Chains A and B, each alone.
Chain A
Amino acid sequence: GAVVSQHPSWVICKSGTSVKIECRSLDFQATTMFWYRQFPKQSLMLMATSNEGSKATYEQGVEKDKFLINHASLTLSTLTVTSAHPEDSSFYICSLKGGLEYEQYFGPGTRLTVT
């Protein structure tokens, strides 16, 4: 399967600041990437679907002006959490869509703590 990296793996930021999380595909050109959020003891929640060269499609209830997604190339997608608040503290995971419809390869995740 594809190798996916995320950077940073963990970050602590102050309330009101912005944080950028990078998701890179190291060996696969991904036209579609997904961004998930997972709160403790809860399931993965899809935030948005990111397509290379076009605007991301956000799930209902996810603020597109707060969670900025840029899929600039076939190997890089970024998620920027703007004006972060403590309730944005979560585990953010990206995945990319593989060659077959059902394949998804996950990154290692980024743990964000907003103080």
Chain B
Amino acid sequence: ETGVTQTPRHLVMGMTNKKSLKCEQHLGHNAMYWYKQSAKKPLELMFVYNFKEQTENNSVPSRFSPECPNSSHLFLHLHTLQPEDSALYLCASSQEGRDTQYFGPGTRLTVL
């Protein structure tokens, strides 16, 4: 789905690094989401933003910090991560909350 882009596609970071993931949607949607996908587990919702307001934080550790400056852009700021945070991080958007979600290609994160 080229309507949602994510950068970078791959990221390797040490436990003391600070990095950010970026997501941009070109679909005119109002809601954006961050998901974590680990091997052998269902997709886990992390954060939801609706009209730039955070409406859900699914008990995510504070080392993950989201930012939504407008309805087209979403960031996930990372700091002092743990090796178990290594996963595929997916961004999604929808026309409004509870509607069909469209996903980006994901960022493959490896924490050393």
A and B together in one complex: no
